[in-house]
Structure 1
């Protein structure tokens, strides 16, 4: 006869291992994330990676040479911002399946949500642990 707590713990460990595997895969996808945005008239092209870090800036045409510095700066900043927004969107797509119910991954990654406002979901794990701790002889 098997111990029901052993079976529950085995099931929980299997779930934990699967969750850990999925998170490693998500982390790898996040690390390889790369988004490129090009400004109108192909003045500048910007590539950002994970976390919105600027990885590359290119000037696909010579149009930038004829632009006033303030206009070029504005085009560059707009392209960076657009690429960063897309990077957040793509990261949110990767993370959404791993977020607790009701948590907007995009809002969280954008910094628009306070993490302290999340309620910790109640799960069967706490019941199992509570039972084990209340009667360690089982």
Structure 2
């Protein structure tokens, strides 16, 4: 192997090992992340975790007397949606910080991003 090729291979190996370590850490942080949101008048507060799983719901005690069950359910749904959106935004930003601004995690999940092109672009940035 030519010396410059050996050096390049060594560099790529170091980058790959660092990326693997950082990706594992990102995965751990992503699966443990939570986000919370309140209804506009704070009758309901919810917390969601990985995948939008509802992990906590709190109610203003007076809300039971003032709101119908349907209104309470709507407020829970709205707050859960807001919390999930906030969490997804944080997760996507963390992935862009690791893999580059072109990395669209949720676009990939929705089938809006060509995975081959994304991998090619991400690899070009990481191994430049």
TM over 0.5: yes
| 1:114-129 paired onto structure 2 within 5 Å | 114-116=112-114, 119=117, 120-121=119-120
TM-score normalised to structure 1 length = 0.72
Aligned length: 121
CA contact 2:26–2:94 (8 Å) conserved in 1: yes
CA contact 1:39–1:76 (8 Å) conserved in 2: yes
Bigger Cα Rg: 1
Deviation by residue 1:81-112 (Cα, 9 ceiling, x = unmatched): 11111111111121112335533345446x3x
Deviation by residue 1:9-36 (Cα, 9 ceiling, x = unmatched): 2111111111112112211221221111
Paired position in structure 2 for 1:83: 83
SS at match of 1:64: helix
Determine if the alignment matches structure 1 residue 97 to structure 2 residue 90: no
Paired position in structure 2 for 1:29: 29
**Superposed CA RMSD:** 2.5
Question: Per-residue deviation at 1:49?
Answer: 0.9
SS at match of 2:103: coil
Paired position in structure 2 for 1:54: 54
CA distance in 1, matches of 2:11, 2:115: 30
